[in-house]
Amino acid sequence: MTSKYSKRELATLPFNNSSLDIESRVDDLLNRLTLDEKFKLLSGRLFYQTRSIKRLGIKPFKMTDGPLGISMHSSFFRKNTRFPGGICLASTFNRQIANEFGVAVGKEARSIGIHALLAPGINIHRTPFNGRTYEYFSEDPYLTKEIAIPFVKGVQSQRVASCLKHYVANNQETNRHTVSAEMDERTLHEIYLRAFMETVKEADPWMIMTAYNKVNGQYLHGNKKLLRQTLWDKWNFNGFVVSDWYALSRSDPPVSTEECLLAGLSLEMPKRNKYNPALLQAAHNDGKFSNEDLDAIIRRLLRVMFLVGLFEDKNSLPTGKRNTPDHQQLARRMAEDGMILLKNNNNILPLDISKIHKLAVLGPNKDKKFGKWLYGLSAAVKPPYEITPYKGLKNKCKGKIKIVSDPSSADYAIIFAGLNHDRRIKLIEINNDEKMAIGNDSEGSDRNQLELPANQVDLINQTVKQNPNTIVVLLNGSPIAMDSWLENVPAVLEAWYPGMEGGRAITNILFGSVNPSGKLPITFPKKITDSPAHQSVRTFPGIDLKVYYDEGIYVGYRYFDKKYIEPLFPFGYGLSYTDFRYNNLRSSTNKITKEAELNVSVDITNTGKRFGAEVIQVYSHDIESRVDSPIKELVGFEKVYLDPNEKKTVKINLKMKDLAFYDKNSHSWVIEPGDYKLLVGVSSRDILFEDSFEII
C-alpha cells in the first residue's frame, strides 16, 4: 500500500535526514517509490525539468543550457552573463580560468534554482564545418579534457550538476538525428571517447548527455556497450545519462523502451516518448526489463538529486549570484586570454592612441550583437548588455580619436569580419543579382565553405588598397581560409565569439593594455580539401546516412603532420606583443615507470618590453610503437605569465597514461614500454627542443 505522509512525517523519513550518507538516503527513497512513480521520474516536462512527486516531496530537477552561460530559453526568460564560446576558452590553455568559469556559471545556475548545467560540450573538432565548433573545445582530446576537468569541478563545487555532452562522435550537424559515425575501435576510444573517459575519471561529472547520432549503426541512447558497459562498468561513472532533447522520438529506426532502459538511460528529455509510462508498463509486464534494471537507472538519478541538494533546506545550499561585476570581468578576462594574434607584420599592433587621429571601423561584425534569443540555438545566451567591438572602440577613443567609415583618410582601418549564428544556408545578395550560399556557426546546420563570404573578402581587399594599415579582426567560431586576402593585410586577430564584454577585450588587445596570449586549439587549413574529414563525400557529410571516419586517429594536426600538409596556422599557434627566450630543457629522468610522472622543465625569459604570457607545449612520439603512431601528440602544457625581463622555470608534469594508445586486440589502453621522443615547443609546428626517454 502506498503511504500518504503529512509534511511533518515526510521530514522525519530517513531520506530527508541529511546526516545520513547519500547511498542510505537513495536506498530509502528508492524503496518508497511505487512503480508508477518510478516511471514518472524517467521523463521530463516543461522542456528543462523532471516531474515532481508530491507524495514524497520530490521537487522537479531543473536543467539549463549551456556552454556559454545560462541561456534565456532554459532559465525562465532571464538574461545572464554571456561568456565566450568553448573554442575561446580552450584557446586560453588556462586550466585556472576554466575552473573560474565553471564556478561562475555554477553560481549563476544556483542563483535561479537550477540544478544542472547542460555543459561542457566536449565533442572533438573533426571538421571545421561543424556548426557547433564554437561550443566545443578542440581537435585534441588531451587539451579538451584538460579544460573540461577544471570546468566540471568548478560547476559542481556549487552543487550544480555538470553534464558532459554529446556522448559521443556528435561531430556534424548535417543529418544529426540519423547519421551514423562509422569508425574503428581504436579511433573511437583514442580520439572521441578519451576526453569523456578522463573527465569522468578525474572530475566525476554527475550527468552525461547522449548524442543524437549513431556510432557504427547504433544510437547512443540505446547503446548498452557504450553506456552501461563502458560508462558504468569500465569507467565507474556515478552519475546518470540523459538523452539529447527529442532524440528518442527522432530516432530512425526507433529504439525501443527496453533497449534504452537496459542500456542505462535514466532520463528522456524533454518529454515522454519511449519513456511513456504506458510503454514502460507494457515492457515491464512482458518481462523485458526487471525491477533491478529499473532501479539501477533510477538510483543514479536520485543520487544526483541528493548531490544537488534537492532534498536539502535551501539555507544550507550555496546561494549563487548572477550578472555580477565579477562574472562580467571574468567574461572579459576569458576573451582576452583566449584571443589569438594570427599575424602582426612590423608590429603594427598594438596601436598607440597618442599617434592616431582617425580610425576607420568597418565590417559586418563591427556592431553586431551575438547574444540573442536562440541565436545559434541551444548555446544562445542573452546578456543584460553586450559591448560590441564598435562600442568598445568608441569608449576608448572618446575625445581622442575620430571614428570614421572612410578608410582612405584614416590612420588605420579595422575590419570586423567573420561569421555569425544565423542558421541554415543564408542567401546573401552580392553584386545585385548574384547570390551565394554560406553556412554559419550554429547548431542545426553545418558550414559549407571555409572562406569568408565573398563580400567580406572584397571589403578586405578593397580597404587595404585604400589604406595599407588595415587590421582584420575575426569574430567567428571555426577556422577560416584566408588565402585570398591574408598576404595583403598586416595584422589579423582571431577574437572568436568573445561574449558580452568582447568589445572591451578586443579594444584592450588592439591598444595593447592586454597582450594576446591565446593559442589555436584547432588547425586552420589553407583549404577545406586539406582537412582530414574532407577527402570525399563519404568522409563528410556522408553517403546514405553513414559518415566514414576514414582518417582514423589522424584528426587535426595529427593528420597534417602525417601527410606533410602545411596548414594556414597550426595547432598551438599564437603570437604575442613581446618576445620570449627559452633555454635549459631538462627532464627529471630518462627512464620512467608507467605509474610515475615525468617532470619536464624549461626556463623562459620575457625579453621584450611588455607583460605577456606563453604556452609551453609538450608533445610526445612513441618511437618503437607496435601500432601506427602519430608524429606528435600533445601530452602536457603550461601557461606562464611574465613581466619584462622576468625569468621563470616552467614545470610540466607528464602522466604516462596520457601517452597510452588503445589496443584493438586487447580492447584496452596500453602504455607501451620503450623509447619515446619528447618535443617541447610553442606550437605544434614550432618545436624548440627535442629529448627522449624510456618507459620501463
Tell me the site size for ligand BGC, rule CB under 6 A. 7
Closest contact distance (angstroms) between CB of 377 and ligand BGC is 7
d(CA 584, CA 456): 46
Burial-class residue 316 by CB neighbours within 10 Å (0-12, 13-18, 19+). Answer: exposed
* Residue 115 interacts with ligand BGC (CB under 6 A): yes or no: no
β-strand partners of 493 = 341, 473
Give the SS3 label for residue 660: coil
Site residues (CB under 6 A) for ligand BGC, limited to 362-401: 378
Minimum CB distance to ligand BGC smaller for 246 or for 611: 246
Site residues (CB under 6 A) for ligand BGC, limited to 143-172: 165
**CA dihedral angle for residue 677, residue 137, residue 337, residue 444, rounded to 10 degrees:** 150
**Residue 39 per-residue DSSP state:** H
* Residue 174 interacts with ligand BGC (CB under 6 A): yes or no: no
Closest contact distance (angstroms) between CB of 158 and ligand BGC is 19
518 close to 336: Cβ distance less than 8 angstroms: no
Minimum CB distance to ligand BGC smaller for 245 or for 511: 245
d(CA 495, CA 338): 8
* Residue 126 interacts with ligand BGC (CB under 6 A): yes or no: no
What the block records as the C-alpha cell of 27 is 536506498
Closest contact distance (angstroms) between CB of 353 and ligand BGC is 42
Closest contact distance (angstroms) between CB of 65 and ligand BGC is 5
d(CA 109, CA 193): 28
The correct pick among 15, 245, 390, 485 for binding ligand BGC (CB under 6 A) is 245
Q: Where are the alpha helices (DSSP H) in 204-285?
A: 247-250, 257-263, 277-285
* Residue 496 interacts with ligand BGC (CB under 6 A): yes or no: no
* Residue 118 interacts with ligand BGC (CB under 6 A): yes or no: yes
* Residue 33 interacts with ligand BGC (CB under 6 A): yes or no: no
Contact map string, positions 581 to 600, toward ligand BGC, x by CB under 6 A: --------------------
442 close to 497: Cβ distance less than 8 angstroms: no
Site residues (CB under 6 A) for ligand BGC, limited to 316-335: none
Minimum CB distance to ligand BGC smaller for 66 or for 364: 66
What the block records as the C-alpha cell of 305 is 538529486
Closest contact distance (angstroms) between CB of 252 and ligand BGC is 17
* Residue 557 interacts with ligand BGC (CB under 6 A): yes or no: no
Q: Where are the alpha helices (DSSP H) in 609-681?
A: none
Closest contact distance (angstroms) between CB of 165 and ligand BGC is 5
Minimum CB distance to ligand BGC smaller for 220 or for 351: 220
Catalytic position from the list 65, 244, 441, 561: 244
Minimum CB distance to ligand BGC smaller for 245 or for 524: 245
Minimum CB distance to ligand BGC smaller for 135 or for 337: 135
367 close to 389: Cβ distance less than 8 angstroms: yes
223 close to 180: Cβ distance less than 8 angstroms: no
Closest contact distance (angstroms) between CB of 88 and ligand BGC is 18
Contact map string, positions 504 to 523, toward ligand BGC, x by CB under 6 A: --------------------
Closest contact distance (angstroms) between CB of 672 and ligand BGC is 37
Minimum CB distance to ligand BGC smaller for 119 or for 280: 119
d(CA 386, CA 375): 14
Minimum CB distance to ligand BGC smaller for 158 or for 378: 378
d(CA 356, CA 404): 12
Site residues (CB under 6 A) for ligand BGC, limited to 62-91: 65-66
Closest contact distance (angstroms) between CB of 163 and ligand BGC is 8
Is residue 244 flagged as an active site residue?
Answer: yes
d(CA 239, CA 264): 11
509 close to 339: Cβ distance less than 8 angstroms: yes
**CA dihedral angle for residue 621, residue 623, residue 627, residue 632, rounded to 10 degrees:** 20
Minimum CB distance to ligand BGC smaller for 171 or for 508: 171
What the block records as the C-alpha cell of 3 is 503511504
d(CA 77, CA 118): 17
Q: Measuring CA to CA, which residue among 461, 468, 488 is closest to residue 363?
A: 461
**CA dihedral angle for residue 52, residue 45, residue 209, residue 127, rounded to 10 degrees:** -160
* Residue 446 interacts with ligand BGC (CB under 6 A): yes or no: no
Q: State in Å, rounded, how far the first CA of the chain is from the last one.
A: 63
50 close to 41: Cβ distance less than 8 angstroms: yes
* Residue 173 interacts with ligand BGC (CB under 6 A): yes or no: no
Binding site for ligand BGC (CB under 6 A): 65-66, 118, 165, 244-245, 378
Catalytic residue numbers read 244
